[in-house]
Amino acid sequence: MPIRRPEPIKLTGAAAKSVQSQLGVQNTSRVAPKSTDPNFPVFEVPLNKRVLIYVPNHVVDDENGEPTLRMDKPLIHAVQDGKRFLYFRCVNGLEVKDDDGNILYDGNCPLCEGTSIPWDLANLKIKQKCASLGLDPEDKTNDSVKSVRSAEFSGRVLKESNRYYTFPIVVIETENDDGKTIKKDENNKPVFHPMWYHISESLYTQKWLPTLEGLEDEPTHPGGHFFVLNFIYDTKGKEPNKRDAARNVNVISRTIKQSEKLRAYLDNVTEEWTPEKAQSVVLTNQLYSMDELQNIADKVLESSKDMIALLEAAEASGTSAVSTGFNLTPPEENKALGEGTVAMDETDEDDNFGDIDLG
């Protein structure tokens, strides 16, 4: 459905003057909103900065009775929409009925069920491309074959779900972003900002756990501790970007003396930053109905199904879709897969979704 042209707003008086004075000095932004509530923002990975943070000490017991950080742990699918990836929470295994007994979730996930189709398409394209090049698609030691396989597998439009962690942190401003000298306001109080921290389980394991294991008290979680997130890394002559900054982050423990009152205060102001709140406001963590997810799966897989039919027909007729000049890459479309979802671009901090294996 084409977008209807909206009616322009008409401003008069002080409002018109105020708008006019601000229009010429607007700042551009490539950062897509990641939260529906500006009072509960999601942390954005900075470039070439050190960030001092405090992890609030909100702790619960896990299934083994061990203390662990209170957090939301969504499984998230990446769905390709043109050149972007959108995030959708997986509902596999959920069995939920509403108060009237109507089934909301039946244990299945339409996105999970659709992941086999991009794999089938990738394998068909690998077979056809290798045949056109005179290569054996099963010769995984051949560099050319490996290149073809890698390109097709990474280009799948619907990915399996990956585990993410979402928990609150408090960003404490420092002078010149050095991660050391705490900024103070006019009342000589630290300047700080509570935010959601969103990171993939694999990156958390890689970057955070070694730091925790190196602490004297060997905590099982980062709650109640200060850290410096060092996003300065060797770009090897390239322009820095958020994804590489996140992949190369150094998590460094920081001790702040006589900080008991500050820690207690920050714990208190983040008390309502619960997993339920994350599910409510963080776009990647929100739940969608089975019908919505099925609609997304149908739309994103439509071109893949068409391409599979084309390749299978070409194979049955003894011709090659490659040699006959067919474009094996599905056309880029603005599918509008889901309003309110978050698009991933080259600046995002995610370490998985671009090539399928978060902060």
221 vs 8: which has the higher pLDDT: 221
Q: Lowest mean pLDDT: which of 70-74, 135-139, 166-170, 274-278?
A: 135-139
Question: 356 pairs with which residues across the strands?
Answer: none
Number of domains the chain is built from:
2
Q: Lowest mean pLDDT: which of 7-11, 85-89, 137-141, 301-305?
A: 7-11
Distances (CA, A) of 219 to 35, 196, 213, 216, 222: 30, 21, 7, 8, 7
Distances (CA, A) of 311 to 33, 122, 293, 317, 324: 39, 11, 27, 10, 11
pLDDT of residue 5: 64
Mean pLDDT for the chain overall: 86
146, part of any domain = yes
Residues 172, 263 within the same domain: yes
206, part of any domain = yes
pLDDT of residue 319: 65
Average pLDDT over residues 186-214: 95
The distance in angstroms from the start CA to the end CA of the chain is 36
Residues 116, 154 within the same domain: yes
pLDDT of residue 10: 75
Residues 87, 174 within the same domain: no
- C-alpha 273/C-alpha 58 separation (Å) is 9
Residues 113, 242 within the same domain: no
Does residue 82 have a pLDDT over 70? yes
Two tokens at 330?
Answer: 């599905």
Q: Which domain holds residue 314?
A: 75-161+285-339
Residues 171, 276 within the same domain: yes
The whole model's pTM is what?
0.81
pLDDT classification of 63: cutoffs 50, 70, 90: confident
Per-residue pLDDT tens over the stretch 288-343: 999 999 999 999 999 999 999 999 998 887 765 554 444 444 444 444 455 445 44
- C-alpha 288/C-alpha 338 separation (Å) is 10
pLDDT of residue 238: 93
pLDDT classification of 83: cutoffs 50, 70, 90: confident
Residue 163 and residue 75 in contact, taking contact as beta carbons nearer than 8 Å: yes
pLDDT classification of 31: cutoffs 50, 70, 90: low
Residues 252, 275 within the same domain: yes
Residues 171, 210 within the same domain: yes
pLDDT of residue 89: 97
155 vs 29: which has the higher pLDDT: 155
- C-alpha 234/C-alpha 148 separation (Å) is 29
217 vs 212: which has the higher pLDDT: 212
Residues 221, 279 within the same domain: yes
Nearest to 333 by CA among 81, 114, 158, 88: 81
Average pLDDT over residues 243-249: 94
Residues 151, 291 within the same domain: yes
Residues 199, 275 within the same domain: yes
Distances (CA, A) of 83 to 158, 247, 303: 13, 21, 15
259, part of any domain = yes
Q: CB under 8 Å to 22, separation ≥6 — which residues?
A: none
